[in-house]
Structure 1
Amino acid sequence: MAKKDYGADSLTVLEGLDAVRKRPGMYIGTTDSQGLMHCLWEIIDNAVDEALAGACTHITVTLHKDGSIEVADNGRGIPVDVEPKTKLTGVEVVLTKLHAGAKFGNASYNAAGGLHGVGSSVVNALSSRLDVEVDRNGHTYHMAFHQGHPGVYTDVDPLHPSPDAPFKKTRKNRPTELEVIGKVPAKTTGTRIRYWADPEIFNASAKFDYDQLIDRVRQTSFLVPGLTITVVDEHIDETGDAAVDELVETDAAQAQADQGEAIDDGQRAHDESQEQLDFASNDAELDQERAEAGSVVELEPVATPVDTSAPTPGHRRVEEFCHTGGVVDFVDFLSHGEPVSAVWRIAGQGTYHEETQVVDDSGNLHAEKITRTCDVDIALRWINGYDTTVRSFVNVVATPGGGMHVDGFLQSITKQIRKAVEDNARKLKVNLKDSKMKIERDDILAGLVAVVTVRIAEPQFQGQTKDVLGTAPVKPVVARITDKQFTEMITGSKRGYKEQSARVLEKIVGEMHARIQARKTKEVTRRKNALESASMPPKLSDCQPGNDDVAELFIVEGDSALGTAKAARNSAFQALLPIRGKILNVQKASLAQMLSNKECAAIIQVVGAGSGASFDIEQARYNKIIMMTDADVDGAHIRTLLLTLFYRYMRPLIEEGHVYAAVPPLHRIALTGPRKGEYIYTYSDDELAGKLAQLDRDHVGYADDIQRYKGLGEMDANQLADTTMDPRTRLLRRIRMEDAEQANDIFSLLMGDEVPPRRQFIVDNADDFDRSKIDT
C-alpha cells in the first residue's frame, strides 16, 4: 500500500560527487571491468588533451603493486590559483566539481577528447583515495581525497601511501589546503594523479585488462605523432644484468632513504602547520587571511623528491610507444596480408559554421554563430582478402560506430572509384551496358584498411558513449578534401600512383565479379536440391540426405586413405572428400587465384554456404567439418593450409565450432596371452613408452613388433573406424578461435609473405616447445 504522506520532506537531494557514487553507471557505464578501465581512460585522455594542445610530450602510466594507478604528464599542470566563482583552487574545482574544466570554450583546448567536464571528478568520486601532484610556478603542489572529499592522510610510510591510512576530512564550507611539498625548476610543469579504485563501487568481477591498456596506448601514440607514452607495470619483474641491477638497487635504496628524510621533515612541518590552523579555526582574521591567500598553505621548503618512477633496468615491465608517422604508421600496423597498394594519405583543413552556446565574460550562456575549423587526416590502403578494417577517431576519441566523418570519406571514395572504373572499363573488362556490373560499396570495402581522423572543437556525439560523430557539417568538409586528393591517387595522375591505382581497380573489379558470381551460385542453389550429386564434385562420396543436424564431412588426405575410409565410414551421416596433397596457401593468394584452385573451389562447393562476405552458415550442408590427415609433418601442414582457407573465406565455421581435426594413432600394440586379439593404440612416442612400462608392471604380454602407422592408408577399415571415425571411440580436436584479432595476427605471421617475423617467432618460442601440443 502506497504511503499517503508524500511531501517535500520525502525528497532527497544528492549534492556534488555523492550523485556519482549513488549512480556510477550514469557516468562510467558499468561497475565491472569495463567501468574500471573507463576511469583510467578519463585520466589518460586528460593528459592526451594536453598533448593535443601542444603542451605535453610525455605521458607515463604506472601500475603499482598495491593496485593503484598513476598517470603523469609534462603538460601545463592543473591550475593552482583560485577560481573566482567558487573561491576554490583550480585543482579542487577540477577534481570535485562536475561539468567544470577548460574545455567548454575555445581558449585553452581547441580540440579535446574530454568534453563534458566530468572525467577527473568522476574518477575521484569512485576512488577510495586519490592523490594529485602539480608542478607549476617553481613548486610542487599536493592534495589528497577520500571518495571525492578533500582532506589529509596520515601515512605510516609516506613512500607507500595507502587508502587505509587515517584520513581527516576538510571541514565543510572551509577552504581546502593545497600543500606545497617541494620545489622544481621554474619551467617544469606537469600533473601526476594516482588513484585507488574503490572496492565499495566496483564489483568483485572487475579486473584490470593490461592488454586493453596497451592497445589503447599504442592507438593513442599513432594518433598523436611525437607523443611518447610509457607504461610501467610493477606487477611483473623482469631479469636484467646482475651488476646493473645491484648498482641500481643500491642507488634506489639511497635515494629512497634521502627522500624519506625529506618527506619526514615536510610531514612534521605540515603537522605543525595543521595544528596551528586547527587551534585557531574560530579566529576570523585567520579565516580571512586563508581565503585571501587562495587556499594555499605553503610549508617550509623540503628537498625535491627523487624521481623513483623512472624504469629500473632489470625490474618492472616497461613498454614505450612513440610514432612519428601518425595515421600512416597506424594503417601499416593494422595491415595483415599482402598489400595491393602503399599507404595513401589524405590531409587537409576546412571550415564550417555552427550555432552554439558560448559563455560570455559575465559567465552567462548565449547562442552565437561561430566558424569552426576541421582538420582532416586520413590514411588508407588495400590488401588482398575481403576483411575491412576502418578505424575512426575524433580528437583521438574512437568512434566505433563511425559518423559524419566516415560517411563523408566513404561517399567520396565510392564516387571516385566508380568514375575511375567507368573511365577504364575496356581495360578492366567491365561491360557498362550490363546493369549488374556496377561497383557497390562492399566491393570497395573488401580488403580496405583505413584510419579516418578529424579534429574539431566541441564535437557532437550521439550519446555519452561517443560511438558516433553527429556533427553534420563535418561530412561535406571531409568529402571535399577526399574528393580532391583521392581523385589524383585513384586515377594515377599523381606521381608514383599509376601502378598502384591500377592494382586497386583490378582488385575492386575482381570483388565485383566474385560477388556477382556468388549471387548466381546462390540463386542456382536455391532452385536445386542442395544434395544433388550432379552439382557436386565427382570425387565426393556424400552421405544420405535427411541427416543435416549430424552430417559430417571428412576431408581426407590422399586417394589411398579414401578407399579405407569408404569402408570405415557410416554412410548415413559421414561424407568423404579427398584432396590431393597440399592445397593453395590462400594467405598469399588473391581471391581470383583461390577461386580458380580446384581443391579450394571443391571444398567451398561441397560445404555449400558460399565464401567470403557472402558466406551463410545457415546454408552449410554439414554439422562437422573434420580434417583427416596423416599424423606427420606433411599432415600438419595440410591441416594448417585448410585452416587458413576456412579462416579467410569461411570464418563462421571456426567461430561457431564446426571445424575439427581427427587424431589418428601413431602406434598399435597387439596384446598376447589371455588378452590375445586385443589392441592398444597410442598417439605419441611418450604415450607409447608409458603404456609399455605400465604393461610390463602389470605383467601383460604384448608382441614385440609394435606397428608404427606412417599414414591413414596403412590401417584397415576396422582400425580406422575404431580409432578415427566412429563417434563412440574416436578422438577429435575442435578448432576454436577465442580472439579474432589474435587469430588474424597468427595466420598472417605463420602463413604470410614476410619470412623474418616468422623466423623470429620460431626462435622466440623454441624454449616453449610442448610435444603434447603437436601430433607427431
Structure 2
Amino acid sequence: MANKKQDYANDDITMLKGADRVRKRPAVIFGSDGIDGCQHSVFEILSNSIDEAREGHGDKIIVTKYDDNSIEVQDFGRGCPVDYNQREKRYNWELVYCELYAGGKFDNNSGENYSFALGLNGLGACATQYSSEYMDVEVFRDGYKYDLHFEKGENKGGLKKEETKQKKTGTRTHWKPDLDVFTDINIDKSFFEDVMKKQAVVNPGVTFLLRVQRNDGTFEEQTFFYENGIADYVKEIAGEDTLTNVQYFTGDRRGRDRADKDEYKVKLGVSFVFSNKVQTLEYFHNSSFLSHGGSPDDAVRSAFTSQINAYLKNNNKYNKNEKPINFQDVADCLVLVSSSFSTQTSYANQTKKAITNKFIKECMTEFLKHNLEVYFIENPDEALKIAEQVLVNKRSRESAETSRLNIKKKLQGTIDLSNQVQKFVDCRSKDLSRRELYIVEGDSALGSVKLARDAEFQAVIPVRGKILNCLKADYDKIFKNEIITDLIKVLGCGVEVNTGKKKDLSAFNLDNLRWNKVVICTDADVDGFQIRTLILTMLYRLTPTLIEKGYVYIAESPLFEITTKDKTYFAYDEPEKDKILKMIGDKSFTIQRSKGLGENEADMMSLTTMNPETRRLIKVNPDDVEMTQWMFNMLLGDDLAGRKEFITNNGADYLEMADIS
C-alpha cells in the first residue's frame, strides 16, 4: 500500500510568480479559461484605446482579426508611454506589460490623464500579454517609434527605439491568445461586431473599423459610427413606429459612496423611447457593457416605476383597490440605453459585468425622477400614452397570472393520484431520492412492467395511443388533452407556461416533483420512437427544466435476443449484435428481433429494462437547448417545406434505421 503524505509543512506553501499568475489561473482575471475569457482579454486591450479616444486623443480605432486567430488593435492616441520612468526607476513598458496593477489611471479625480477611464485596475495589458502565445507592440510618440516583442509572458529583446518622421502618434498591438492558457481562441466574428458596435454607441464621434481576414488573405471591413451616441442607437432599436419620441437626458453629479470615502465625479446619459413592439434595456459604464446591470439598473427600475405610478395615482387611472404597477409592466414597452461614467468605479469583478457604486444608484435615481417629472409635464399627450400602455401591460400580466394559477390548481391536486389518474400505479416509497416513474406505451406494456418492476420505488403510467404534438398545439388544446394533464398531475411539479415574451416559472415548482427519475419506456420500433419523441416534446415545451436538470431518461430496449444452449444475450443495436455473435463463435444459437414490451416475460423485462443493476438508461440532457428546439421544430413543427428539405438532404443517413420491408 502506497504511503500517504501526512504532513502539511511550511514548504508546501508556494506563490505564483511572473506570467504564471495569469497563465495558470486565467479565470481569476478574465472570468473563464474558455472562449469567454479569451474574448475578455481582447476587450482589455481595446479598452485602453477607447480610453484614449474618449479623452480626445484620436477619433479612430482599427481592430483586425487574422485567419490564424491572432488579433490587432490600433489606435491614434498619444501612444503608450514605454520609455524610462524616473519616478519608478523602471521602464514604463515593464510596468504596463509586465506588472499587474500598474498604470496611469489610478488617480482619476485629478483629471490630469483620464477623467473617465474604462480600465482602472492596471491589469488588462499585462494580463493579456501574459496569456498570449506572442505579442508585438508598436508605439509612435515623442518623435520615436518603439517596438516590443513578447513570447508566452516573457519579453524578448527589450525595447527597440528609433527616430521617426511619422507625425501621427498611437499604439498598435498584435498578439495571439495562447491555447496553453485558454481552451479555445477561435473568437467568432460576431463577438467583434457586437463589441465594436456597442463601443461606437457609447463613444459618439469615434469611428470603429473592423477588419476580418478571409481565407484568400483579403479583408472584409465594417465600420461602426454613431454621431449622437445612445440617442441614435435607441432610434435604431425602436424603429419608426413608436408610442413616443426619443428622449435624451444628460447631467453631471459629484458625491461619495460613504461619508469617509473620497468624492468623485459622475456623468450620466440616458436615452429612451416607449414602444409596444420592442423592449430593450442596456446599460454601459465607462464604455463597458453591463450585462448584469447593477447600480444603473436599480436606478432605472426605481425611478421609472415610481414616476409612472405617481402619474397614474395623480390622474385617477387605477381602478378601485387595484394594485400598483411593477417595473416589468414598464419594461414591457420600454427601449432604454444608459451610458454613465465615473472617476471612481466599483465593479462587481474584473470582467466588469455590473457596478455597485451606492452614490451612482442614488444620484441616477434622483436624476431620472426629476427629468421624468419634467418630461411628463411638458409632454402630456406622451405621458398619457405611456400610462395607458403600462396599465395594459399590468392588467394583461395579472390576467395571465390568474390563468396560470388556475392551470396549476387543476394540475396539482392533493388527493390520491392512484384514484385521480386512470391506470396509474404508484410505488410504496415516499423517499424522493429513490422514486422512479416509468412512462410506458399502452396497456399491454403496463402489464409487463407492473410485473417486472420493483414496487417499492418504481411507479408506472401508460400512454394510451399517440399523444398530442405539443409544438403545434396551443395551450388551450394541450390542457384539454387528458393524457397530457394526467402525466402532468403525476409529475407533480406544474408547468412552465411560455407567454411569448419570456419563460415564466410562476406555475412551476421543481420542489414539488415527485420523482428522482422520469423514464420513457417504449418499443424499439418506429411507433415506439414516435411516441417517445412526442413525450419528450411535451416535456420540452411544458417542463423543460426537468430535461435541463437531468431528471428525464430513456429506457433502452434490446433489438435482438440471441439464445445459445447456456445463455440468452441481448443486443441493443447492430454493432452489439455483431460483437456478441463474434464472441459466441461456433456455438449453436438462435437470433430473433426482440418482442414488444407487452410480449416480454417479467424476468426479461426486469433484466433488460427495469433492474438498476442491469438496465440501460440514457439521460436526456441537451447540451444545446437552441439546437434541440430547432430540431423539434424542424421535425414536428409547422414548416412543411423546411422539413421536406431537411429529409431530402439528410434522410439517406438514416435509411438503415428505417423499418422498411
1:735 corresponds to 2:624: no
Q: Secondary structure at the match of 2:590?
A: coil
Any idea what the Cα deviations from partners look like across 1:588-611, whole Å, max 9, x if unmatched? 666666555544433332112233
Structure 1 649/351 Cα, relative in aligned 2: closer, same or farther at 3 Å?
farther
- 1:689 positional shift: 5.5
- 1:775 positional shift: 11
Equivalent AA in structure 1 for residue 184 of structure 2: D
Any idea what the Cα deviations from partners look like across 1:455-504, whole Å, max 9, x if unmatched? 4343632555343342122234456778969x99999948xx99x98995
What is residue 30 of structure 1 aligned with on the other side? 28
Any idea what the Cα deviations from partners look like across 1:543-577, whole Å, max 9, x if unmatched? 22434332111122344433443344333322222
Uncovered stretches (5+) of structure 1, i.e. residues with no partner: 1-17, 147-160, 170-175, 233-309, 335-340, 358-365
- 1:351 positional shift: 1.5
2:253 alignment partner, one of 350, 353, 359: 353
1:313 corresponds to 2:216: yes
What is residue 518 of structure 2 aligned with on the other side? 625
1:397 corresponds to 2:288: yes
Q: Secondary structure at the match of 2:519?
A: strand
Any idea what the Cα deviations from partners look like across 1:321-352, whole Å, max 9, x if unmatched? 87889999999xx9xxxxxx999997633224
Any idea what the Cα deviations from partners look like across 1:485-531, whole Å, max 9, x if unmatched? 9x99999948xx99x98995675234422564478689x86xx57x5
1:224 alignment partner, one of 196, 199, 207: 199
Structure 1 323/165 Cα, relative in aligned 2: closer, same or farther at 3 Å?
closer
CA–CA distance in structure 2, aligned partners of residues 621 and 653 of structure 1 = 12
CA–CA distance in structure 2, aligned partners of residues 509 and 761 of structure 1 = 42
Q: Secondary structure at the match of 1:546?
A: coil
CA–CA distance in structure 2, aligned partners of residues 327 and 746 of structure 1 = 36
What is residue 569 of structure 1 aligned with on the other side? 453
Any idea what the Cα deviations from partners look like across 1:628-655, whole Å, max 9, x if unmatched? 2343455445444444544455444334
CA–CA distance in structure 2, aligned partners of residues 118 and 112 of structure 1 = 13
CA–CA distance in structure 2, aligned partners of residues 448 and 582 of structure 1 = 41
CA–CA distance in structure 2, aligned partners of residues 328 and 764 of structure 1 = 48
- 1:656 positional shift: 3.6
Q: 1:690-729 maps to which residues of 2 (within 5 A)? A: 691=580, 697-702=585-590, 706-707=592-593, 709=595, 712-713=597-598, 715=600, 717-729=602-614
What is residue 72 of structure 1 aligned with on the other side? 73
Q: Secondary structure at the match of 1:120?
A: helix
Q: Secondary structure at the match of 1:660?
A: strand
- 1:121 positional shift: 4.7
Structure 1 89/622 Cα, relative in aligned 2: closer, same or farther at 3 Å?
closer
Check conservation: 2:265, 2:342, Cα contact below 8 A. no
Check conservation: 1:374, 1:454, Cα contact below 8 A. yes
CA–CA distance in structure 2, aligned partners of residues 422 and 584 of structure 1 = 47
Any idea what the Cα deviations from partners look like across 1:147-175, whole Å, max 9, x if unmatched? xxxxxxxxxxxxxx8878963x5xxxxxx
- 1:660 positional shift: 0.4
Q: 1:590-739 maps to which residues of 2 (within 5 A)? A: 595=479, 597-612=481-496, 613-614=505-506, 615-633=508-526, 635-647=528-540, 649-669=542-562, 671=563, 674=565, 679-688=568-577, 691=580, 697-702=585-590, 706-707=592-593, 709=595, 712-713=597-598, 715=600, 717-738=602-623
Q: Secondary structure at the match of 2:421?
A: coil
CA–CA distance in structure 2, aligned partners of residues 490 and 758 of structure 1 = 44
Equivalent AA in structure 1 for residue 589 of structure 2: G
- 1:733 positional shift: 0.3
Q: 1:117-516 maps to which residues of 2 (within 5 A)? A: 117-121=122-126, 123=128, 130-134=135-139, 141-144=145-148, 167=157, 169=158, 178-179=161-162, 191-195=171-175, 206-210=181-185, 216-217=191-192, 219-224=194-199, 310-313=213-216, 348-355=248-255, 372-376=267-271, 392-411=283-302, 433=321, 453-458=338-343, 460-465=345-350, 466=352, 467-470=354-357, 471-472=360-361, 473-477=363-367, 493=385, 508-514=397-403, 516=405
What is residue 297 of structure 1 aligned with on the other side? none
Check conservation: 1:346, 1:481, Cα contact below 8 A. no
- 1:625 positional shift: 0.3
Q: Secondary structure at the match of 1:210?
A: coil
Check conservation: 1:63, 1:70, Cα contact below 8 A. no
- 1:353 positional shift: 2.0
Structure 1 712/195 Cα, relative in aligned 2: closer, same or farther at 3 Å?
same
1:553 corresponds to 2:437: yes
Structure 1 432/456 Cα, relative in aligned 2: closer, same or farther at 3 Å?
same
- 1:728 positional shift: 3.5
Q: Secondary structure at the match of 1:30?
A: helix
- 1:734 positional shift: 1.0
Give the TM-score normalised by structure 2: 0.67
Check conservation: 2:274, 2:333, Cα contact below 8 A. no
Q: Which moved more, 1:716-725 or 1:30-39?
A: 30-39
Equivalent AA in structure 2 for residue 707 of structure 1: R
CA–CA distance in structure 2, aligned partners of residues 593 and 220 of structure 1 = 44
* Identity level (%): 24
Q: Secondary structure at the match of 1:603?
A: helix
Equivalent AA in structure 2 for residue 456 of structure 1: F
Q: 1:747-758 maps to which residues of 2 (within 5 A)? A: 747-748=629-630, 750-751=632-633, 755=639
CA–CA distance in structure 2, aligned partners of residues 520 and 514 of structure 1 = 10
Structure 1 134/533 Cα, relative in aligned 2: closer, same or farther at 3 Å?
same
CA–CA distance in structure 1, aligned partners of residues 578 and 402 of structure 2 = 56
Structure 1 509/773 Cα, relative in aligned 2: closer, same or farther at 3 Å?
farther
Check conservation: 2:61, 2:73, Cα contact below 8 A. no
Q: 1:526-537 maps to which residues of 2 (within 5 A)? A: 528=414, 533-534=418-419, 536-537=420-421
CA–CA distance in structure 1, aligned partners of residues 334 and 630 of structure 2 = 15
Equivalent AA in structure 1 for residue 355 of structure 2: V
Uncovered stretches (5+) of structure 2, i.e. residues with no partner: 1-15, 202-206, 497-504
Any idea what the Cα deviations from partners look like across 1:669-706, whole Å, max 9, x if unmatched? 4x46x45xx544333345446655666x4242326xx3
Check conservation: 1:444, 1:508, Cα contact below 8 A. no
Check conservation: 1:609, 1:617, Cα contact below 8 A. yes
What is residue 422 of structure 2 aligned with on the other side? 538
CA–CA distance in structure 2, aligned partners of residues 639 and 490 of structure 1 = 53
Structure 1 410/611 Cα, relative in aligned 2: closer, same or farther at 3 Å?
farther
CA–CA distance in structure 2, aligned partners of residues 345 and 122 of structure 1 = 44
- 1:91 positional shift: 7.1
1:59 corresponds to 2:34: no
- 1:539 positional shift: 3.8
- 1:354 positional shift: 1.7
Q: Secondary structure at the match of 2:488?
A: helix
Q: Secondary structure at the match of 1:34?
A: coil
